[in-house]
Amino acid sequence: MLKQVLKCGFIKTGKKQPIVVLTVTKISDIQNIIIPFFQKNPLQGAKLQDFLDFAKAAKIIEDKTHLTSTGLEIIKKIKEGMNSKRKF
- How buried is residue 30: exposed, middle or buried, by Cβ count under 10 Å (0-12/13-18/19+)? buried
Q: Name the amino acid, one letter, at 25.
A: T
pLDDT in tens, 38-80: 999 999 988 999 999 999 999 999 999 999 999 999 999 999 9
How does pLDDT run across 2-43, given as a tens digit for each residue?
Answer: 888 899 999 999 888 889 899 999 999 999 999 999 999 999
The CATH code belonging to domain 24-85 is 3.10.28.10
pTM: 0.82
d(CA 75, CA 88): 19
